Chains A and B, each alone.
Chain A
Amino acid sequence: MPVFKTPFNGYSVRFSPFYESRLAVATAQNFGILGNGRVHVIDLSPTSPTINELIAYDTADGVYDVAWSESHDSVLVAAIADGSVKVYDTALPPQSNPLRSFKEHAREVHGLDYNPTRRDSFLSASWDDSVKLWTLDRPASLRTFREHAYCVYSVAWNPKHADIFASASGDCTVRIWDVREPGSTMIIPGHEHEILSCDWNKYDDCLIASASVDKSIRIWDVRNYRVPLSVLNGHGYAIRKIKFSPHKRNLIVSCSYDMTVCLWDFMVEDALVGRHDHHTEFVVGVDLSVLVDGLMASTGWDELVYVWQQGMDPRAV
């Protein structure tokens, strides 16, 4: 399966929602602690197990996350550690990029999510404890959601309801928001440690998963969130990112500081159904293709991006 080497430490990888072979990768120098960043747009070769770089964009600070536009096949947004959100259009010549630079967050922007149902707006989560709502055509953010008491690490739109999203924060809560409401509509005190990631189930709009520094993934039903529906244990260190499969209702993929990518079926007793230890450093980015069932990608601080088909060994050539 193809591997791509990035000069900096990988931070995030995302499949394009338009082209099944295209991915975007966010990277940062020095583990994102200090230095430059780069966004890579890469293509899987249709004929050989290799990855070609389409284009790369340099930034003056680390890039922590990327998200593809859901409305324009060539547009992607990047979360920059200097607090800015930058928009790139791969169809434009390099000198026209970045197309936009939104500088409102006071601190590092750590997570992005593009609205998959409305397709016209996206969210940014920042270490300034806030979440902001943006569209590409407005010069400033539409709204700022300030309730979290510590860094917000990730945001995720509900796949069915265009105005509902969830945010995961270091204040040990997941909050659920309706952008038409003034404040958060639900607070899930999900873990006793910081929560680094959250995602909605793509088939059941009431299920949300949270992943924490406490090494566990918890699945919550928002109709009854006193107790988690399921607790998935098995990672040895903090869990950095989780994603529900767009193709299988019960499948979750997670990556962790324990240097592994794990696959889970949260409805069965032995939930851990797969573990990949192909990375030699912290794994911080993982994604599942919406267009190809079972195609997944991961990146980590070992400066490698792996793309593989579920059931295969990512390292197998």
Chain B
Amino acid sequence: MSMRELVTGGAACAVPGSSSSSSNPLGALANALIGSSSKTQERLREIPNAAAPTSDTQFYSQVDDSVAALPGSELDRPFLHSNAQGSDFIRGLRSFDDNGLADAWEEIQRQPHLDHLYDPAAAPIQPTLDGPPQRVLSSFLHSFVDSSRSGIPLHPTPLPLLGLSQGDKQCIRDRSSIMARHFFADKSEDFINAQVNALLSSLEIENDVRARGPVPGRFRELEDYWNESQGILKPGARSADGWVTEFSQYTAQHGDTNAWVRSFEQQHGASSWASEFEQEQAQLTSIDHLNGGDVANLAAIEQTRMLAHTLSQNDDPKFQVKPASGSWATEYQQQYNGGGTWADEFVHNEVFRGPDQWVNEFATERERHEQADDQWVNEFSKLHVDDWVEEFGHQVGEGILGDTSSDNWANAYDEFLNEQVAAKQRSDASSGVYVFSDMNPYVGHPNPLKEGQELFRKGLLSEAVLALEAEVMKNPENAEGWRLLGITHAENDDDQQAIAAMMRAQEADPTNLEVLLALGVSHTNELEQAAALKYLYGWLQHHPKYGTLAPPELGDSLYYADVARLFNEAAQMSPEDADVHIVLGVLYNLSREYDKAIASFKTALKLKPNDYSLWNKLGATQANSVQSADAILAYQQALDLKPNYVRAWANMGISYANQGLYEQSIRYYVRALAMNPKADNAWQYLRISLSCASRNDMLEPCDSRNLELLQKEFPL
């Protein structure tokens, strides 16, 4: 399911309770997005018909005169003085053949002269995104922009889900790759690509072929040579303009030059080898995104893809590497069977066979430059062509094609890709499986459950996890052991393991109310509305007091409104039951009614003022409704009650970061990490805050996870 569906499906939610920091921001974004739909319609209605009479009269009183004087009306009447002057101006610069004037203005003459045909500006304003996700995005884009000055490579950072639409992603992809070439002008193409890729992969945007590639002018050496040789061939005024430049344009004004490109393609067959390669690479890139492939690899692939893309896109014949079709596949097959030096041979023989031919042909046509082909080949080899061929060969060598001996390598490759996707899906499906730690010192402990409870009480969460794992390994049916393990993970900021443990607890005891509530909260955090409703409804069903409220037939098709209604009934039944108010608070988070959620949690806190996790829920909800200052007070309450509450420390940091207080947020992240260095989310947030606070000097200690240094630098 795509993020978009999650958001628009209304499943997006906030993060009370075990509040994974990573899903915190999405609630607010979803709120903004969904809240916007009605605004959008209102806006649409507000947009005036642009042909409103008031505006027209102001402009159109003079329209007819001014239009008559426009260029294009010249075919009807004599040239105006100013136009003639302009014409002289250009003629004075260089003698230009004027034959195309009539054609040029035909376009204008064909324009219907219709004043009132405007389509009114109908684009509605997007909601102004200023909730936490906007700040995360903004901060991250800032660090991207900032990295141009520091020269420090941007690392891909798993960000919280931001709910970006496809259109948003395309904007980010296209614009950042164009702008990056302005900011990072000093850097190599590889560096630029790596930066853009780090940005895009962090935002989970595939860098597909629609993105604007590098500037055509980057093959300078070749361009220069080309210009030079052509300069000799084409004496006269136009040579100064460089026909190569014109030739490489996408206009259809090439004349005979175009013709010979076409004839070349006919002779050699448009095997579109480059574009095929590029497609495969694009797919490969996306697969790597899925698998979280490392940057270096991505950058290399990207480089390859860009080159292939350039080769296939550029109309300039010098980039059209098109070896005779068929021979490539044969060659490839042979080399594949034989292994070894396929790439080398391909580089030295096959790639240049085609170009040799066409260069010869070209030379013959021009009756000049017999030696050009050699030089051309030399120039071309300098363009790091080896890099990508090696890369491709390398991947082939690594057995990307598996054992298949199919003649059609493309089919085999597709199969491989499908397998990869299937494998990825399998691994997703199994994500609910609890993963035990290696080397657990508590295995063999006489009473690991008691030990685990004790450690949990002391706040030694990572140790408690080990003890409790020992317990559930010993007694896999112990629901309490699993439940406590789940809660420990949740407080230690590890939602995946928390859910896995809670599922085991529920298997062992399907009616345990605490387990059902915890699962409801966790699924709310994970934005799974249906699952969250199922568990919350289960809580009601199995509650001794409220069980009668829940008609069993409802369990088959749960709707948010029904569940919320039942819990409101329960709250009326016993207004003194804090748990009901807690569940209501969670439910309101699901529906993004943060004010109601905050009220519910506050009611519950009056009944249970010492429940630190409840204070954390309140804080997270306030953070979601963009009340970061209030959230900090709530987190502080939670921390006063439980100083080792890692999640609250991390959440505190997020709230400070959301207010732009990056320095302060760093201190809280560092404190959270000192307590649980395995909290990966917090490391990522720390990194963003460091770069937003312009503390690039501390990025290295952050990357090497040097907590000692970080704690010294950022004491709390």
Residue positions of A touching B, CB distance < 8 A: 29-36, 58-61, 72, 81-82, 84, 86, 89, 91-92, 95-101, 103, 107-108, 117-118, 120-121, 127, 129, 135-140, 142-144, 146-151, 158, 160-164, 170-173, 178-183, 185-187, 189, 192-194, 196, 205-206, 213-215, 222-223, 226, 237-238, 240, 257, 282, 301
The 8 A CB mask of B122-136 against A (1 = contact, 0 = none) is: 111110110000100
Cβ-defined contact, A181 with B104, below 8 A: yes
Contact of A142 among B92, B111, B134 (CB under 8 A): B111
Smallest distance from the beta carbon of A218 to chain B beta carbons, Å?
15
Cβ-defined contact, A179 with B141, below 8 A: no
Determine the chain B residues whose CB is within 8 A of the CB of A127 once the complex forms. 174, 178, 212
Determine the chain A residues whose CB is within 8 A of the CB of B1 once the complex forms. none
B422 at the A interface (CB under 8 A)? no
Cβ-defined contact, B55 with A139, below 8 A: no
Determine the chain A residues whose CB is within 8 A of the CB of B58 once the complex forms. 72, 89, 91
Q: How far is the CA of A32 from the CA of B181 in the complex (A)?
A: 15
Name the segment of B23-31, B67-75, B286-294 touching the other chain.
B67-75
B398 at the A interface (CB under 8 A)? no
B38 at the A interface (CB under 8 A)? no
Nearest 3 A/B pairs, CB to CB: A101-B121, A182-B104, A182-B100
Q: Decide yes or no: A117 and B82 within 8 Å by CB, A101-B50, A151-B178, A189-B245 being known contacts.
A: yes
B85 at the A interface (CB under 8 A)? yes
B561 at the A interface (CB under 8 A)? no
Determine the chain A residues whose CB is within 8 A of the CB of B246 once the complex forms. 147, 187
Could you name 23 residue pairs across A and B whose Cβ atoms are closer than 8 Å?
A84-B121, A89-B58, A97-B48, A101-B121, A118-B82, A120-B67, A142-B71, A144-B107, A146-B251, A147-B251, A149-B248, A160-B89, A161-B85, A163-B82, A180-B74, A181-B96, A182-B104, A205-B89, A214-B185, A237-B185, A257-B148, A257-B182, A257-B183
Residue ID in chain B nearest A225 by CB atoms: B240
B426 at the A interface (CB under 8 A)? no
B54 at the A interface (CB under 8 A)? yes
B138 at the A interface (CB under 8 A)? yes
Cβ-defined contact, A140 with B128, below 8 A: no
Determine the chain A residues whose CB is within 8 A of the CB of B117 once the complex forms. 139
Cβ-defined contact, A182 with B103, below 8 A: yes
Name the segment of B214-222, B431-439, B443-451 touching the other chain.
B214-222
Determine the chain B residues whose CB is within 8 A of the CB of A257 once the complex forms. 148, 182-183
Residue ID in chain A nearest B117 by CB atoms: A139
Q: How far is the CA of A34 from the CA of B137 in the complex (A)?
A: 9
Smallest distance from the beta carbon of B66 to chain A beta carbons, Å?
4
Cβ-defined contact, A101 with B101, below 8 A: no
Cβ-defined contact, B93 with A222, below 8 A: yes
Other than the given A98-B121, A206-B93, A238-B183, 15 more pairs (CB < 8 A) read A31-B145, A101-B50, A101-B122, A107-B174, A136-B59, A138-B111, A139-B119, A143-B107, A144-B107, A146-B251, A161-B85, A163-B71, A164-B90, A186-B93, A222-B93
Determine the chain A residues whose CB is within 8 A of the CB of B114 once the complex forms. 139
Determine the chain A residues whose CB is within 8 A of the CB of B241 once the complex forms. 186-187
Residue ID in chain A nearest B164 by CB atoms: A34
B706 at the A interface (CB under 8 A)? no
Determine the chain B residues whose CB is within 8 A of the CB of A121 once the complex forms. 70
Contact of A182 among B74, B101, B216, B250 (CB under 8 A): B101
Contact of A149 among B63, B148, B172, B216 (CB under 8 A): B216
B510 at the A interface (CB under 8 A)? no
Smallest distance from the beta carbon of A16 to chain B beta carbons, Å?
17
Contact of A58 among B94, B111, B125, B179 (CB under 8 A): B125
Smallest distance from the beta carbon of B145 to chain A beta carbons, Å?
6
Determine the chain B residues whose CB is within 8 A of the CB of A179 once the complex forms. 71
Cβ-defined contact, B94 with A120, below 8 A: no
Residue ID in chain B nearest A213 by CB atoms: B185
Residue ID in chain B nearest A281 by CB atoms: B145
Residue positions of B touching A, CB distance < 8 A: 46, 48, 50, 52, 54-55, 58-60, 63, 66-67, 69-72, 74, 82-83, 85-87, 89-90, 92-94, 96, 98, 100-101, 103-105, 107-108, 111, 113-115, 117-126, 128-129, 134, 137-138, 141-142, 145, 148, 164, 168, 171-172, 174-176, 178-179, 181-183, 185-186, 212, 215-217, 220, 240-242, 245-246, 248-251, 253
Cβ-defined contact, B126 with A100, below 8 A: no
Cβ-defined contact, A60 with B83, below 8 A: no
Residue ID in chain A nearest B100 by CB atoms: A182
Determine the chain A residues whose CB is within 8 A of the CB of B67 once the complex forms. 120, 135, 137-138
Cβ-defined contact, B86 with A36, below 8 A: no
Cβ-defined contact, A140 with B121, below 8 A: no
Determine the chain A residues whose CB is within 8 A of the CB of B54 once the complex forms. 92, 96
Q: How far is the CA of A33 from the CA of B255 in the complex (A)?
A: 39
Cβ-defined contact, A100 with B250, below 8 A: no
Smallest distance from the beta carbon of A170 to chain B beta carbons, Å?
5
Q: Decide yes or no: A98 and B83 within 8 Å by CB, A120-B70, A185-B96 being known contacts.
A: no
Determine the chain B residues whose CB is within 8 A of the CB of A181 once the complex forms. 90, 96, 98, 100-101, 104
Determine the chain B residues whose CB is within 8 A of the CB of A180 once the complex forms. 71, 74, 83, 86-87, 101, 104-105
Cβ-defined contact, B240 with A226, below 8 A: yes
Determine the chain A residues whose CB is within 8 A of the CB of B111 once the complex forms. 138, 140, 142
Cβ-defined contact, A162 with B249, below 8 A: no
Smallest distance from the beta carbon of A97 to chain B beta carbons, Å?
8
Cβ-defined contact, B145 with A282, below 8 A: yes
Determine the chain B residues whose CB is within 8 A of the CB of A171 once the complex forms. 215-217, 245
Determine the chain A residues whose CB is within 8 A of the CB of B66 once the complex forms. 120, 135, 137
Determine the chain B residues whose CB is within 8 A of the CB of A150 once the complex forms. 212, 215-216
Determine the chain A residues whose CB is within 8 A of the CB of B168 once the complex forms. 34
Q: Decide yes or no: A237 and B183 within 8 Å by CB, A36-B125, A301-B145 being known contacts.
A: yes
Q: How far is the CA of A101 from the CA of B47 in the complex (A)?
A: 11
Cβ-defined contact, B128 with A100, below 8 A: no
Q: How far is the CA of A313 from the CA of B240 in the complex (A)?
A: 45
Q: How far is the CA of A100 from the CA of B50 in the complex (A)?
A: 6
Determine the chain A residues whose CB is within 8 A of the CB of B87 once the complex forms. 163, 178, 180
Q: Chain A CB within 10 Å — which of B48, B94, B117 has the most?
A: B48
Cβ-defined contact, A147 with B249, below 8 A: yes
Residue ID in chain B nearest A221 by CB atoms: B93
Residue ID in chain A nearest B181 by CB atoms: A194
Q: How far is the CA of A35 from the CA of B126 in the complex (A)?
A: 8
Q: Chain A CB within 10 Å — which of B63, B120, B185 has the most?
A: B185
Smallest distance from the beta carbon of A263 to chain B beta carbons, Å?
22
Determine the chain B residues whose CB is within 8 A of the CB of A58 once the complex forms. 125
Determine the chain A residues whose CB is within 8 A of the CB of B107 once the complex forms. 142-144
Residue ID in chain B nearest A33 by CB atoms: B175
